Chain A
Amino acid sequence: MSQEHIEHAIRKEYAAGFTTDIESDTLPPGLNEDTIRFISGRKNEPEWLLEWRLEAYRDWLKMAEPAWAHVNYPPVKFNEISYFSSPKAMKDRPQSLDEVDPQLIETYNKLGIPLHEQAALAGVAVDAVFDSVSVTTTFREKLWEAGVIFCSISEAVHDYPELIKKYLGSVVPRKDNFYAALNSAVFSDGSFVYIPKGVRCPMELSTYFRINEANTGQFERTLIVADEGSHVSYLEGCTAPMRDENQLHAAVVELVALDGAEIKYSTVQNWYPGDADGKGGIYNFVTKRGVAHRDSKISWTQVETGSAITWKYPSCILRGDNSVGEFYSVALTNNAQQADTGTKMIHLGKNTRSTIISKGISAGKSSNAYRGLVRMSPRAEGARNYTQCDSLLIGDRCAAHTFPYIESRNPSAVVEHEATTSKVSDDQLYLCQQRGLDAEKAVSMIVNGFCKEVFRELPMEFAMEAGKLLEVSLEGSVG
């Protein structure tokens, strides 16, 4: 099989790349305190939240963009981005789906996310975020019966101020890092989830993020609180139109798993990756972190196929004794994409356990780095970590890197790290083709096999989706 053949197989159209022609209220580009006052005012936020934002902004001004990641891109011009965009029709929040602009509903239909409950995936509630605002949240009533709160974070600020005050910024402090500070200053919308004590959330919850407007950034903020002994599975999906300019997406996700709770957070990230030459695409600079209290469990599963640049380390702070953190990741880069992604497992409590399974796939001339930190604190008696980090190369112009950091300050802690790098070999492709499979099918099958351990962790409905997505993202990668 020739390189050119592989190239062909990886190059497939980005299916979510269409634009919705809808009238929007978009803030002119630029960032200053007035921008923040506008956003906060538009959302009728209480005074304390405006102050919270402004403090974050002032901190942000003093911070520098992180430069340690293994990615290269021209400096982001933060004053040329618009920090708020909302479809006009959303100005007065529609009270029911009937009042939602049909064009918005159509957009989500096209993306395979029906918002009408009767048409929706059985057992999945969706919060749909379009540019800076949440369009609608399905199945709210059904969830309400179980005591589960699932709404946009803007609504939560009004309806559940005590919970927001208590938990917002409790996991990712405003000053945590450059992008987290920026997000804290300008975050627009996102999802809020609260699962009461002992409740097992009756449905999968999911948020679907869509960037539509040009030159806007999306700064969503998600907060999930699982009270004692509760259980929730949450999924986020993301897409954006194909545009020549780079667009910024700087999100913050905070998870709180109280004693004995379990949060499973899955991501299928398919932001527009830019074209084959690296023009356009989303800069995905995201801070995701969860705090796990006693006997609780936080599990991150991510399938990352999109974005021009990914900078993302979903992490677990294993604060409580016996808490468990998991990170299952498939990160695929093709063409000129760059990814620096991984996780942090901070073991504070006794007998805490963490598992990291990372599968990096590089094709085209892309660069794919795993960066992971495992820290065993002095108090983390009997803590254990197992890390497995596998890289798969397709073609001969891509790169894979692994940067593991291990800090152990407790002699009883056990840290295991395994890493492999392999190539989709010509012999494997030859075998598949001799058995009648074309090169694209063969590569996608081999890559799917490579990712199996991670796909197993995805909710059933999305495991298939992820496999298909991988297939599309790989188009043109076979030579």
Chain B
Amino acid sequence: MLKIDNLHASVENKAILKGLDLAVGAGEVHAIMGPNGSGKSTLGHVLAGRPGYTVTAGSAQLLGQDLLTLDTEERAHLGLFLAYQYPVEIPGVSNMEFLKASVDAVREHRNEPALDSVSFMKQAREACKAVNLDQAFLKRGVNEGFSGGEKKRNELMQMMLLAPKLCIMDETDSGLDIDALQVVADGINAMRSPDRSFILVTHYQRLLNFIKPDRVHVLSGGRIVKSGDHSLALELEERGYAWLEDVA
């Protein structure tokens, strides 16, 4: 699904990723943990193609295609989805309108017929229900006046409707209470499938109690310094990151 080799990237001329390697197979869930400032969020943005994030060396392929030469929207068309840590507001543009436009754009590039309004509405309502958001949210401006938890659930709803191949969740669990966390985890679990992969960027092992990862990686100093199975996350919770600095 995703193959990253020796990825170096910088933001405002500051090197953040320094030779990152990662391979995520189809249907797998990988968790990326690591101390603050280690480059976890940067990885998501570099893959998504955020302006200002410059790749200085290395490669990244999604489904066999070179991601790094594609525009941001082309990566989305290919099936990359980034759930933001801090989703922005777009006042006046209704969630519904935004979602319809997104779904239309993505379907168009996949050569799928456009959804008619009725089927789209039906799907949107179901997605709302799945993430436990009131349907009134569909009519509100994108993230406009949403609480932190509502924004995160809204991200999840978008993900459900766009049906991406690779979902990168950037600290989707932060700021969620335990019930909301359960909702988000259920949503992600329901979306797991043999042809869809997940990268969960998180600080907390807690999320991994709800979503069992296939692999856990520790990102430190812009590189993956240790990989393991779920037990690594538990170990990190107990021992912190300091012991890994020596490994690195």
Contact = CB atoms under 8 A, between A and B. Distances in A.
Interface stretch (B11-19, B80-88, B127-135, B230-238): B80-88
B38 interface: no
A451 B137 CA distance: 20
A436 B90 contact: no
Given A2-B51, A437-B101, A449 B141 contact: yes
Contacts of A451: 92
B185 interface: no
B158 interface: yes
Interface string B41-85: 000000011111000000000000000000111011100011010
Q: Which 4 A-B pairs have the closest CB atoms?
A: A449-B92, A449-B93, A433-B72, A435-B102
A439 B93 CA distance: 15
Interface in A120-157: none
A431 B90 contact: yes
A449 B72 contact: no
A430 interface: yes
Contacts of B106: 435-436
Given A435-B98, A441-B101, A446 B72 contact: no
9 contacts: A430-B50, A431-B90, A433-B72, A434-B73, A436-B76, A437-B105, A445-B93, A445-B97, A445-B101
A1 B77 contact: no
Given A428-B90, A436-B162, A448-B93, 17 more contacts: A430-B50, A430-B72, A431-B90, A432-B98, A433-B73, A435-B106, A435-B158, A435-B162, A436-B73, A436-B105, A436-B106, A445-B90, A445-B97, A448-B92, A449-B91, A449-B92, A449-B93
A1 to B, nearest CB: 5
A426 interface: yes
B92 A425 contact: no
A452 interface: yes
A431 B154 CA distance: 13
B206 interface: no
A430 B52 CA distance: 11
Contacts of B73: 433-434, 436-439
A427 interface: yes
A431 B92 contact: no
Contacts of B98: 432, 435, 445
A450 interface: yes
Contacts of A435: 76, 98, 102, 105-106, 158, 162
B139 interface: no
A431 B84 contact: yes
Nearest to A435: B102
A434 B92 contact: no
Give the size range of B's interface with the partner: 20 to 34
Interface of A: 1-2, 425-428, 430-439, 441, 445-446, 448-452
A438 to B, nearest CB: 5
B109 interface: yes
Contacts of B82: 434
Candidate in B84, B97, B105, B109 with the most chain A CB atoms within 10 angstroms: B105
A231 to B, nearest CB: 29
Nearest to A441: B101
A434 B93 contact: no
Contacts of A433: 49, 71-73, 76
A393 to B, nearest CB: 15
Contacts of A431: 84, 87-88, 90, 142
Contacts of B101: 437, 441, 445
Most chain A Cβ neighbours within 10 Å, of B52, B90, B101: B90
A432 B98 CA distance: 8
Contacts of A427: 88
A475 B125 CA distance: 34
Contact of A428 (B49, B77, B88): B88
Nearest to B77: A436
A452 B105 contact: no
Contacts of A441: 101, 105
A441 B142 CA distance: 16
A426 B51 contact: yes
A438 B102 CA distance: 10
A431 B84 CA distance: 9
A448 B158 CA distance: 21
Nearest to A431: B88
A61 to B, nearest CB: 48
Contacts of B90: 428, 431-432, 445-446, 449
A426 B81 CA distance: 18
A290 to B, nearest CB: 28
A88 B72 CA distance: 55
A436 B79 CA distance: 9
Contacts of B162: 435-436
Nearest to A427: B88
